[in-house]
Amino acid sequence: MSTPTTAHIDIHRAGDRMKTRVAWLDSKHSFSFGEHYDPDNTHHGLLLVNNEDIVLPGEGFDTHPHRDMEIVTWVLNGSLVHQDSLGHAGVIYPGLAQRMSAGTGILHSEKNDSWRLPRDQGGTAQHAEPVHFVQMWVVPDEPGITPGYQQLEIDDELAGGGLVTVATGMPRYRDRAAIAISSSHSALHVARMPGTVAGTPAVVTLPEAPYLHVFIARGQVDMEGVGTLYEGDAVRMAHSGGQRIVAENPAEVLVWEMHARLGGQ
């Protein structure tokens, strides 16, 4: 794997993403995915998939296979029911960090079963709602690892408004990350920015890395040297970092920090 030597910043607007729309699914793809293929847009660093999905109640992805991929799911609104061939079953909701290591092979399903959940989790017909989430795939250090699953609630950490390390295999973050992934060259950080408080807007500073992918999951922000970014916009950066992101109103930002890239492509 090689790294870039000169700074480079690309802005990718929300409306330019590839889209999959069926009766129950509204999916927007930051990179080539499924039947949508662009040879010039297959990945950035080690990040291959950044899909923003909205799934209607009672619908979802039936059981399907994955191999040799670290899959991180981040829910913005609603809840997503996960079940897999290892026997894991759970509900993913906002503030819950979750990853699945596909490794040698795993089957799983993801459904919006909101009206079937226990009553204290909104499980009534009148509380059924679409689930809105971002699913991200990164390449593991090596193929053929043992499949696995991990989740942890981090609402309290996110309440601070700064960048929270959600998932990583990087030694520098391992002790403070919510969940582990089998990638020693990448880390996902999330900031749930509160907006202006007591006259001062929320600010986070990007880490420095050979590759950064900044995705505006919710709201609107201003990024130093880039300008205004809106919900669904992304910035791909090479040999950069240190820029400030400012939010005058509530916003949620997902940042992949990567110190390698896929196969030198």
Laid out side by side, the sheet with 80-84 consists of 60-66, 106-111, 80-84, 89-92
Cα 89 from chain centroid (whole Å): 20
d(CA 201, CA 204): 10
Annotated binding residue 127 = no
Joined together, the tokens standing for residue 250 give 């509530």
Other C-beta atoms within 10 Å of 30: how many?
26
Kindly write down the DSSP assignment for every residue of 116-182, as one continuous string. Answer: GS-GGGT-SGGG---EEEEEEEE--SSSSPPPEEEEEE-HHHHTT-SEEEEEE--TTTTTT-SEE-S
Annotated binding residue 66 = yes
Other C-beta atoms within 10 Å of 255: how many?
24
Annotated binding residue 29 = no
Residues contacting residue 168 through CB under 8 Å, at least 6 positions apart: 174, 177, 180, 181, 183, 186, 187, 188
Query: How many helices and strands in the chain, by DSSP H and E?
Result: 1, 22
Q: Which residues are annotated as a binding site for Fe cation?
A: 64, 66, 108, 110
Q: Which residues are documented as binding site?
A: 64, 66, 108, 110
